[in-house]
Amino acid sequence: MKEKMIIALDISSRERALHLVRELHDLAGMFKVGSQLYTAAGPEIVREIVDMGGRVFLDLKFHDIPNTVTRAAVEAAKLGVLMMTLHASGGRAMMESVVGELHEKLASKRPRVVAVTILTSLDTPALFELGLEQPVEVQVERLALLAQDCGVDGIVCSPREIQPLRKIVDANFKIITPGIRMPDQFLNDQQRTATPHEALAAGADYVVLGRAITMEPDPRAAMQRLIQSI
């Protein structure tokens, strides 16, 4: 079960991040380094976590022209990350370029590439406001199938879309889900959420645990309670 757990280090403090890695390394499969921590502490924080034996999920959601994203992905791979994100909405050329370059340079040692479909902070009215005329569920499915066709290893989606996706994507296509909350926790800025048990039961390969763990007074005890609840 621990391999399915990703701890989101969505904090600004290098010291706090490394403390959480030390506290939770035996209870979690990966640690997510996103924009906040990466901007505050730089790429060195990734190297430090890797040197401590932690596996890093680099969640910078690359989204740019194919050449720029491909070069960024290669640099991320040099840091020793296990998995990284890009936006599926960056399109076919961008995704295929990244996958092809990483395979050429690193072959089987390349990090996994997963594509973000629709952010869990968005709902259907928000998509309509952006000019996207399909409901969230339809847009997520379209982007997931595109990502799979481009050779990407998996996608990031909300817990609400897992079951429909499992019916249309390959069995080995990974599904990573944020938006995880315990039953008694507030949604904050998330719109499409579920408990860890619900997400895993629906078919998620990994669940991303952020504030549900890291903002608790005793993160280790919170993590142990969460695992016991699954």
Among candidate residues 32, 61, 78, 105, the one labeled active-site is 61
Q: Tell me if residue 61 is catalytic.
A: yes
- State how far the alpha carbon of 221 is from the alpha carbons of 10, 22, 23, in Å: 19, 14, 10
**Beta carbons within 8 Å of 91's beta carbon, 6+ residues apart:** none
Amino acid letter, 104: E
| The CA-based dihedral angle spanning residues 218, 120, 202, 58, taken in that order and rounded to the nearest 10 degrees | -60
- State how far the alpha carbon of 210 is from the alpha carbons of 6, 13, 38, 222, in Å: 8, 15, 16, 11
Residues annotated as part of the active site: 61
